[in-house]
Amino acid sequence: MGQSRMVQLVLAICLLISFVIIPPARAESSFEAGAGAEALVIPQGISLAGYFQRRIWLTQNPPSNPNATYFQASTGQHDVIRAKATALKINNKKLAVVSLDLVAIFPGVREILAQRLTDLGYQPENIIVVATHTHSGPGGFANFRFWELLAADKFLPHFFSEIIRAAEKAIRIADSQLTPAVANTGGVGLDGLAVSRRSNQPIQTSLTWFRLVSRAGQPIATWVNLPVHSDLLTPANLEISGDIAGEVERKWEQRFGGVAMFFSGASGDIDPHGFTRDFDGLTRLGANFDNMISSVVPFQNAAFVPKEIETFTYSQELAKPYLNLGACVSFLGPFANILPYIPLPAVFAQPAQLVGMKIDKHAYVFIPGEPFQNIGEGIRQAGMKAGFETVTTVGLSNSYLGYIMDADEFNRGGYEACNSFYGPTYGAKILEGSEKLLGIMK
């Protein structure tokens, strides 16, 4: 065999070995992100959802406004009510997270949005809808008699259609803005901002964020997770407002750019603290928050390009639903214990749909209710044990199944226990389901 033929044979063998033994280089992630926001057109005089104290009784004159039936009509709009969306795309898979300035999310919204977004390739399981939980946002969005009478007022089909329109538009804007991006996470403890709703004692809460920036350095969006009830404004307020959530989003956007999306985390037992409960107090809270974040480098962790983004769903069975009347009037002391449990309609007898989102080693757990702080901490610990670097609980997601607490808090009674419909095991069940979900995600 000639020398040239020998060289060719050796090269061919080496090339073959390289394909068999040496794996091909992994292509750089095709991760893209985009964001959008759309203002909702608010019907004149629509009632505000969130406070039972705004209820109109037979002894009062009902409002003449057709957009307010069981609750007092609004007297104006203080600030914009928005639908905000983040679109994420990786390897031709798309995900969308939507934040609405409402007190809660009515079931079925994500499915309706998916039907309207088939041309863009979004599936229901890859759409997550979160409420900011403002207690001064518009009502009329819940097609369910129980919530109509207790918190959200009579269902208004025309306004529900407006919510869907705005949410769809926000997603479409976000999708049209998809661009190669990097992500960043961070967090900081905040003192003097929150108080326990149960003990009225000041507590520390933590601000965490997930920030998206284009490869060119332009801000896209930030998920701002601040576990506190967005209810600084009292039932006496009748002006439409995003409350704390809206103020926090405005301050973040002014300082860091992009679209800010407020998540209330595990805040079932956490209230704002240290500010008057009016618009002056809201302004001061915003200034205080801005001062806090100005001293924080919001890019304290190195930016990374996500290589894996997946959503997961776990259906957690719950106990039979009932209304604990004794908890609702626990101020009566021992007399409250003689009051009966009232079974709730079959529509309540449903499992909790827990949704997980995995972004590399970062986990988000979206829960359809208001988990207490210790429930959120239990979920965080379960996620850390599963091997995630960060774990964030986001309540008020995709539906609403009341307050989520442990047995001790449920047996203690009070407003939150009155609005917890699955008995003393509810908190343990959500923890159990979240742990299983995180195990699947890992």
pTM of the model: 0.91
Tokens standing for residue 358: 């995995």
- Quote the CA–CA distance of 114 and 291 in Å, as a whole number: 39
pLDDT at site 337: 77
Q: Residue 248: which pLDDT band, with cuts at 50, 70 and 90?
A: very high
Domain boundary assignment for the chain: 32-294, 309-441
pLDDT at site 3: 42
Question: Taking residues 346-372, what's their average pLDDT?
Answer: 96
Question: pLDDT for 118-149, tens place per residue?
Answer: 999 999 999 999 999 999 999 999 999 999 99
Radius of gyration of the chain (CA): 24
Question: Taking residues 240-264, what's their average pLDDT?
Answer: 97
Q: Residue 19: which pLDDT band, with cuts at 50, 70 and 90?
A: very low
Res 158 pLDDT > 60: yes
Res 40 pLDDT > 60: yes
Give yes or no for a contact between 281 and 273, defined as CB atoms under 8 angstroms apart: no
Least confident of 101-115, 235-249, 341-355: 341-355
Cβ partners under 8 Å of residue 301, min gap 6: 184, 185, 186
Res 50 pLDDT > 90: yes
Better-predicted residue by pLDDT, 273 or 10: 273
pLDDT at site 24: 35
pLDDT at site 64: 77
- SS3 state of residue 245: helix
Least confident of 9-13, 250-254, 392-396: 9-13
Give yes or no for a contact between 406 and 297, defined as CB atoms under 8 angstroms apart: no
- SS3 state of residue 392: strand
Q: Residue 339: which pLDDT band, with cuts at 50, 70 and 90?
A: confident
Report the run of H or E that residue 406 belongs to, with start and end.
none
Mean pLDDT, the chain, integer: 91
